[in-house]
Structure 1
Amino acid sequence: LLQAIAATLGVATGRLQKLSDLDWAGFNYELLSNNWKKIEPEVNLQIQFSSPELKSISEFYQILQDTGRKLEVPPAAENLVSLRWKGEGIQANIAAELFQFKGREYAKQLLRSEGFQVFEKVGTILWYTEQRTSTSLTPENHQQKLEITEDILRDRLSKWRQFHQDINTGKIAQLRSGQKDLYAEIEQAYKTVFSEHYFEGPIPRENIDDIFSEPWFYLSDGKNQYEISEMSGGERAIFPIIMDFVNWNINNSVILIDEIELHLHPPMQQTLLRALPKLGKNNQFIITTHSDYIEQLIPEAQIVRLEV
């Protein structure tokens, strides 16, 4: 079910070019009809837009038009849009309804002139599989295959920390439009989930052969320091979600999380569930779980039980 939602909304929002582009273990578009007696899969989704988001999508489109951008069909303004699979693509009732899902694409073109707040007004879709680790970050450019390693994480966090310190010391007096203090926001989001934890920062490596390697990046749980590579399994499963929410400025979006309890002990499972709504505004979380501790916190009306 999560894969069907991810593929459908992924194509609608432009994160995927076609349904078969979805990279999720266990999903193979070519085999879908073969494994179901040659019956073509039928997937139908209904997506609800808030009135403020529809207003922002229309405004962004108009701003781009006024600045000479040649856009295609103007977006419709339907509160409820039905999507269905058609071949390797998707269909709505009319073409204009599909362009309602381009709000974030419009916002990206306005980032430099309007600032990061444009992303607070429109949405997208993100998904996290059960194979996620600390380096399972989502690239903004869906066509860019970005291989993220722990060294890249160390490098980015170290540079963001230096930028953060330059802001605090006054070396950077004012942020330019389209800039923000990523380091401060990531650490704050991290504390939302792990209240006692904080970032210690980069520490140069001691081995002379590692002089050109990225410095270690340490965190603290309030008692002990540990390096990014020493994160617990639970932290590794949560880290990409935190990073993406801050980096992408996620709001008004659909977030899919497979096995939300992955590598987390029961109290931490519930802490994560309570923290998710605080990471953005007006997001819908669709999760799968085998955990009774997660089930305890979710209203019965919002639970769908599946039996195989």
Structure 2
Amino acid sequence: MKISRATIENFKKFAPPGVELDFKNKATGDVADRYLILGDNASGKTTILQAIALTLSLAQRKIPDIRHFGWTGWAPERYFVHGDPVVELTVEFEDDEIAATQEAARRWWDLVSPTSHESFREPGDSRVVTLRLEGARVRTTGSARELYQFRGRSYVAASLRNDAKLRALFSRLPGVFWYDQFRNIALSGAREPPERDASEPAPPNEMGVRFETAVERLDRILKIWHRNREQRGPHPERDYLGELEALYRTAFPGRSFAGLETLFDGPTPADDRFVLKDGGRTYTLSEMSAGEQSVFPVLFEFVRQQIHRSVVLIDEIDLNLHPPLAQTVLGLLPRLGEDNQFLFTTHARAVSTLVSPHTIHRLPEGRPCL
């Protein structure tokens, strides 16, 4: 799934006639896999990503309504302050994404149909769909079946408790994932826990979990991956820890995973923690640098959630990174999943100079910093 065009009107700062973005490569005419939204401070970069993320999240049923949109700093009570926002996206699908979504819908229906009084609604098969957010309601301009083309991951998430084998479909199903400008290991905008039915509302304060709780959650998962690998060797299909470490070492040369470190001479597994290594010294997740904390959640979620064929939004891609490392992270994007579309923002020349001018949209307003 990729976005080829977006128009945004009455959404926060974008008064009529709003703003239009074409996400095609200006030289080739193809939809760009990587597209930079370049602008000064307060030019509207974050607002554009929010509009796209909100529209796709509602279509995907990742959230039930605008109140549950999990972008840090989102203020739903001000959503209609300038009138009804309108966002229109032109979205393109691949044939295999369509087939995988239809399969996910049928297998979900097989599980719920014995107790359902509704009829089955098969997702559409349109290669190009125009998706519109009008106020708080999302719809497509074509047949009603087109809206269900966005819900493949939600079908699987709602079925996992009854059929864990459906997890294998995630790699073929499109979605939307975002990483906001406040990301660290405690605040990651790409959360979509597969264990929870995606039709259920997320807790309103999910993005505001305490730092310690988030570190404990991440530490717990990494320890599980490490112990599984120690007990039975790398998984023949998915070596999650190996994938994550390879990406991490590419982003931060000279650093690696050191495994588990015993805290006390206690009898329980809870008495250890996952540690990383920088040269001859080890450190914990909570001791990561600010730059590591801005990058690690992105790498972790790509491995954990099998993010492929999706629209991935990254606000301020160079967040807390010095120029050479920001450039390294930019070069790492093609290695994150398969056939994803990355829409990202920056105001830094260190990033913009490495992006083709044919895949940059320059916003005109804001306080000059470029």
TM class by shorter chain equals 0.7 to 0.9
Deviations 1:39-98 (CA, angstroms, capped at 9, x unpaired): 322211111111221122223334445x45437421111111111123322111232111
Partner SS for 2:259: strand
State the AA in 1 paired with 2:128: L
Q: Is the 8 A contact 1:33 1:40 kept in 2?
A: yes
Residue 182 (structure 2) pairs with residue 124 (structure 1): no
Q: After TM superposition, list the pairs within 5 Å mapping 1:6-85 onto structure 2.
A: 6-34=53-81, 36=82, 39-65=83-109, 67=110, 69-70=112-113, 72-85=120-133
Shift of 1:284: 0.7
Pairwise CA RMSD: 2.6
State the AA in 2 paired with 1:102: R
Partner SS for 2:293: helix
Aligned equivalent of 1:275: 332
State the AA in 2 paired with 1:29: P
Greater CA deviation, 272-281 or 46-55?
Answer: 46-55
Shift of 1:275: 0.7
Residue 248 (structure 2) pairs with residue 190 (structure 1): yes
Q: Could you tell me the TM-score, scaled by structure 2's length? A: 0.72
Q: Could you tell me the TM-score, scaled by structure 1's length? A: 0.86
Q: Is the 8 A contact 1:123 1:252 kept in 2?
A: yes
Deviations 1:249-300 (CA, angstroms, capped at 9, x unpaired): 0000111111110010111101101112201001111111011111012111
Greater CA deviation, 141-150 or 191-200?
Answer: 141-150
State the AA in 2 paired with 1:121: R
Aligned equivalent of 1:288: 345
Deviations 1:210-262 (CA, angstroms, capped at 9, x unpaired): x8965232111334322211111110001111111011000001111111100
Residue 197 (structure 2) pairs with residue 113 (structure 1): no
- Aligned counterparts of 1:62 and 1:152: Cα–Cα separation in 2: 33
- Aligned counterparts of 2:282 and 2:105: Cα–Cα separation in 1: 48
- Aligned counterparts of 2:54 and 2:167: Cα–Cα separation in 1: 29
Q: 1:154 aligns with which of 219, 237, 248?
A: 219
Deviations 1:137-196 (CA, angstroms, capped at 9, x unpaired): 414235344544212222222222111111229xxxx87xxx954322322332232243
Flag structure 2 segments of 5+ consecutive residues without an equivalent.
Answer: 1-47, 114-118
Shift of 1:136: 2.6
Q: Is the 8 A contact 2:254 2:278 kept in 1?
A: yes
More strand per residue: 1 or 2? 2
Q: Is the 8 A contact 2:59 2:138 kept in 1?
A: yes
Aligned equivalent of 1:228: 285
Residue 152 (structure 2) pairs with residue 103 (structure 1): yes
- Between the two proteins, the alignment pairs up a number of residues equal to 295
Cα distance, 1:192–1:82 mapped onto 2, change above 3 Å:
same
Q: Is the 8 A contact 2:108 2:156 kept in 1?
A: no
Same amino acid, percent of matched pairs: 31
- Aligned counterparts of 1:106 and 1:139: Cα–Cα separation in 2: 13
Q: Is the 8 A contact 1:163 1:181 kept in 2?
A: no
- Aligned counterparts of 2:317 and 2:72: Cα–Cα separation in 1: 16
More helix per residue: 1 or 2? 1
Shift of 1:25: 3.8
State the AA in 2 paired with 1:119: F
Aligned equivalent of 2:18: none
Q: 2:263 aligns with which of 175, 187, 205?
A: 205
- Aligned counterparts of 1:290 and 1:89: Cα–Cα separation in 2: 32
Where relative contact order (Cα < 8 A, 6+ residues apart) is larger, the structure is 2
Partner SS for 1:198: strand
Q: Is the 8 A contact 1:81 1:97 kept in 2?
A: yes
Deviations 1:109-129 (CA, angstroms, capped at 9, x unpaired): 37623553x222111111111
Q: Is the 8 A contact 1:154 1:214 kept in 2?
A: no
- Aligned counterparts of 2:69 and 2:166: Cα–Cα separation in 1: 31
